[in-house]
Amino acid sequence: MRMVSAVVLGIVCGVTGVIVATVIVVICRLYRRKYRHRTCVPPCGYDAVGDYKPPSLMSISSGSQDVQLTKEHRAIQPRSTSITSRTSISTMSRGSIRSDTLTEETSSISARSDTSVDSCIFDPSFGAIRPDLYPRKDAVLQQSSVDQNLGRLHIRLKYDFRTSDIIIHLIEAQDLISTDQKDSEGGSFGDPYVRLAILPEVDERIRQSSVKRKTCNPFYNEYFKFPLTIDDVRDKTLVFHIYDYDKFSRHKIIGEVQVDLRKVDVTNSVEMWCDILKHHKCTGGDYGEVLLSLSYLPTAERLTVVVMKAKDLRMTGVAGSSDTYIRVSLTVEGKKVKRKKTTVKRNTTCPVWNEALAFNVPAELLPKVSLEVAVMDHHDLIGHGDIVGRCLIGPDKEDQEGKHWNDMMQNHRKSMAMWHHLHKR
């Protein structure tokens, strides 16, 4: 009997323990669920921890004390682990905002602080230098002369490293002196336009501004560019020729401006005011100019003359046109030993050849060699031509002719190009 009571007591105690444990487990789960419900992050529309929510997509509308935060979703991939951890912190801070318990002021402050955190973390331009906030003023240069000027030219120069071009902004000209008509007050006026060139030339294009009618203060605001590497810019001269347009006759030149690019830093934008000076023709310039390239290859003992083009040749043919060709004579100690010529270019005073004429010259004879380059006016009926003009190139020559030869001798295997004035002698 005593054993039966003990067994019954044990069963009752066991059942009671199980019931108590079950109650405790249920209470713990309820308490945990309630605690988790209080501290959990309310649904905020995030697809992933690393999603980017730009601040500009957040709109705050407050009709009463409740604050509603509306966000659009734009998912991006997390960039790094550190950013992911910082995103988690930002998300938890956002989850601590409850619209049902906080006032409108507190919610707006939290939203602003949260937005600033997002912008600092995800904005790729944060901390970058913005050049537009630090504008650089153009340098203004004055190019004046003691000679009497024929007006002033206003330009701006800038080198574009993206396209490897030098950009010329032709802005305006002021106080131009026309070559013909007079107005009722005695002042001069005309139809001016401007031609631009780079010397030595870089291409065959003619760059010219529009014609401004009946004014001595034309405003152009036109842009031109020349393809040049930054290293070649320093060896060039920028030339502006200002003309007075005439519909029925040859246009008259008002003056010119020359800008030595070695003296101008075009890596930054440079604004210039330049005096317009009288156009001076060089001696022999009436007969034109010819562009030649010389090179010598020592291993092959070959002297190559590339006849590129000529310009402003004196017109001797019928109706003011010329049929021209170039004759190159190789002279050794004053004696002509070989002669070659180019093809004939018809009806032009600015012919373009781009033809190479080669001569075999031993290295020991080079100091005794010179070249005679003659521009000839071709006649079909007679069979030979008249000399329009010529130039002599050699080691004992002066000015451009001697300089060109010496440049070739100091730079074997390289083509050295140079313009030469033609003389009638």
For 293-319, what is the mean pLDDT? 83
Domains 141-181+188-278 and 288-422 share a fold: yes
Q: Is 374 exposed, middle or buried (0-12, 13-18, 19+ CB in 10 A)?
A: buried
State what percent of residues in the chain have pLDDT above 70: 64
Task: Quote the tokens at residue 211.
Answer: 């014609």
Please tell me the distance from the alpha carbon of residue 181 to that of residue 255, in angstroms, as a whole number: 17
Residue 379 confidence (pLDDT): 63
Kindly report each contact of residues 133-140 with a partner whose C-beta sits within 8 Å and lies 24 or more positions away, as own/partner.
136/268, 136/269, 138/268, 138/269, 138/270, 138/271, 139/265, 139/268, 139/269, 139/270, 139/271, 140/271, 140/272, 140/273
**Cβ-contact 173, 284 below 8 angstroms:** no
CATH code matching the domain that covers 288-422, chosen among 2.30.130.10, 3.40.50.11310, 3.10.450.50, 2.60.40.150 = 2.60.40.150
Residues 6 or more apart whose CB falls under 8 angstroms from that of 72 comprise: 53, 57
Question: Parallel, antiparallel, or unpaired: how do β-strands 139-143 and 270-275 relate?
Answer: parallel
In one letter, which amino acid is 286? D
Kindly report each contact of residues 87-96 with a partner whose C-beta sits within 8 Å and lies 24 or more positions away, as own/partner.
87/49, 87/50, 87/51, 87/121, 88/49, 90/114, 90/117, 90/118, 90/121, 91/41, 91/44, 91/46, 91/49, 92/41, 93/117, 94/41, 94/44, 95/40, 95/41, 95/42, 95/44
pLDDT band for position 307 (cuts 50, 70, 90): very high
Helices 104-122 and 81-95, axial angle in degrees (round to 10): 170
**Cβ-contact 236, 200 below 8 angstroms:** yes
Higher pLDDT, 125 or 356: 356
Domain 141-181+188-278, CATH: 2.60.40.150
Distance from the first to the final alpha carbon of the chain: 156
Residue 221 confidence (pLDDT): 96
Among candidate residues 424, 414, 362, the one with its CA nearest the CA of residue 392: 424
**Cβ-contact 305, 328 below 8 angstroms:** yes
H helical segments located in 203-360: 230-233
Please tell me the distance from the alpha carbon of residue 236 to that of residue 251, in angstroms, as a whole number: 27
C-alpha distances in angstroms, 312 versus 152, 250, 388?
27, 14, 11
Q: Write down the mean pLDDT value for the chain.
A: 75
pLDDT digits (tens, 9 = 90+) for 164-178: 999 999 999 999 986
Neighbours of 399 (CB within 10 A): 10
Task: Quote the tokens at residue 238.
Answer: 């920028």
**Cβ-contact 336, 374 below 8 angstroms:** no
Please tell me the distance from the alpha carbon of residue 417 to that of residue 32, in angstroms, as a whole number: 91
pLDDT band for position 387 (cuts 50, 70, 90): confident
**Domain residue ranges in the chain:** 141-181+188-278, 288-422
pLDDT band for position 32 (cuts 50, 70, 90): confident
Residue 389 confidence (pLDDT): 87
In one letter, which amino acid is 374? A
For 301-305, what is the mean pLDDT? 94
pLDDT digits (tens, 9 = 90+) for 245-262: 887 766 788 999 999 998
pLDDT band for position 66 (cuts 50, 70, 90): very low
Among candidate residues 231, 232, 219, the one with its CA nearest the CA of residue 192: 219
Higher pLDDT, 179 or 219: 219
Q: Is 420 exposed, middle or buried (0-12, 13-18, 19+ CB in 10 A)?
A: buried
Kindly report each contact of residues 94-99 with a partner whose C-beta sits within 8 Å and lies 24 or more positions away, as own/partner.
94/41, 94/44, 95/40, 95/41, 95/42, 95/44, 97/69, 98/42, 99/66, 99/67, 99/68, 99/69
Please tell me the distance from the alpha carbon of residue 129 to that of residue 117, in angstroms, as a whole number: 20
Question: pTM value?
Answer: 0.42
pLDDT band for position 61 (cuts 50, 70, 90): very low
Residue 358 confidence (pLDDT): 95
For 346-351, what is the mean pLDDT? 82
Among candidate residues 241, 236, 237, the one with its CA nearest the CA of residue 279: 241
Q: Which segments within 97-191 are labelled E, that is strand?
A: 139-143, 152-160, 165-174
**Cβ-contact 309, 351 below 8 angstroms:** yes
Q: Report the greatest alpha carbon distance in the chain.
A: 159
**Cβ-contact 138, 156 below 8 angstroms:** yes
